[in-house]
């Protein structure tokens, strides 16, 4: 039985008063890996921002990890984001503290208090991304691929049902991109975490084929529907 993690129906997506995407409808199920593709300026970022509550959905309906996007206000957005993992192209790591402290900062910010549980959780996510012994390292001491793994570890901290990855291989060499892709696909498979990955990298897509949502001409075209 498939379990929808994202359900968008007849949604119109705006940036301020500009209609960017119209009549968007798709579902993403638990553990599913989906690419989000499209030329720059066709609405990929606007769609991602709607999914994590940065843009408000005003027309149509949307539900993400059990949260109604139509009823989303600034007070509810942090609760939505606690159930999501967001991975960026440029890592967004705090450069003045080590990997362990980077992850601890996020847990503290989302309400974790027990130091023992915090340590256990950090060790767990670092193990999942293959960085078990690197918690003491500063971001500048790490390669781009290692920093991206830290970013993925951070996205896993609150055991999200959905990971939104925005160009996670964009700044990486092909070999490192492969490692990151295998890691994301493994996470989807092993933990039932749905992954929506925005990318321009068709080498990656060809190597790891999966369902695609494509933004073009103000629409979202779903490869699963064709």
Q: Give the residue, 26 or 72, on which the prediction is more confident.
A: 26
What is the C-alpha separation between 134 and 126, in angstroms, rounded? 8
CB 81 within 8 A of CB 73: no
- Whether 226 shows a pLDDT value over 70: the answer reads no
> Does residue 37 register a pLDDT over 80?
yes
Confidence of residue 136 (pLDDT cuts 50, 70, 90): very high
C-alpha torsion 185→186→191→193, nearest 10: -10
Residues in the chain, overall count: 226
pLDDT at res. 222: 95
Please, what is the average pLDDT of the chain? 93
> How far apart are alpha carbons 157 and 171 in whole angstroms?
23
Does residue 128 carry a pLDDT above 80?
Answer: yes
Helix (H) or strand (E) holding 112: none
- Average the pLDDT over 192-219 and give the result: 95
> Any bridge partners for residue 12, and if so which?
59
Of 72 and 188, the structure prediction assigns the larger pLDDT to 188
Report the percent of the chain where pLDDT is more than 90. Answer: 79
* 87-123: pLDDT as tens digits: 977 778 999 999 999 999 999 988 899 999 999 999 9
Taken in order of first residue, the domains within the chain and their CATH numbers are 1-83+184-226 (3.40.50.300)
Classify 21 as helix, strand or coil: strand
Comparison of pLDDT for 2 and 99, the residue scoring more: 99
What's the token pair of residue 10?
């007849």
């Amino acid at each position: 039985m498939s379990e929808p993690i994202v359900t968008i129906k007849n949604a119109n997506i705006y940036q301020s008063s500009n209609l960017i995407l119209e009549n968007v409808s798709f579902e993403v199920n638990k553990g599913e890996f989906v690419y989000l593709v499209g030329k720059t300026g066709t609405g990929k970022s606007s769609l991602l921002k709607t999914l994590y509550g940065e843009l408000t959905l005003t027309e149509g309906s949307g539900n993400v990890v059990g949260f109604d996007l139509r009823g989303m206000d600034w007070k509810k957005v942090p609760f939505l984001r606690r159930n999501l993992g967001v991975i960026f192209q440029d890592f967004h790591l705090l450069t003045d503290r080590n990997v362990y402290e980077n992850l601890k900062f996020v847990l503290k910010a989302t309400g974790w208090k027990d130091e023992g549980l915090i340590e256990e959780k950090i060790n767990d996510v670092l193990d999942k991304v293959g960085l078990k012994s690197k918690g003491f390292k500063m971001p500048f001491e790490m390669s781009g691929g290692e920093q991206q793994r830290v970013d993925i570890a951070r996205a896993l901290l609150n055991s999200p049902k959905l990971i939104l990855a925005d160009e996670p291989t964009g700044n990486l060499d092909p070999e490192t991109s492969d490692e990151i892709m295998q890691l994301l696909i493994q996470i989807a498979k092993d933990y039932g975490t749905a992954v929506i990955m925005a990318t321009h990298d068709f080498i990656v897509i060809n190597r790891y084929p999966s369902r695609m949502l494509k933004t073009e001409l103000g629409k979202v075209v779903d490869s699963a529907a064709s």
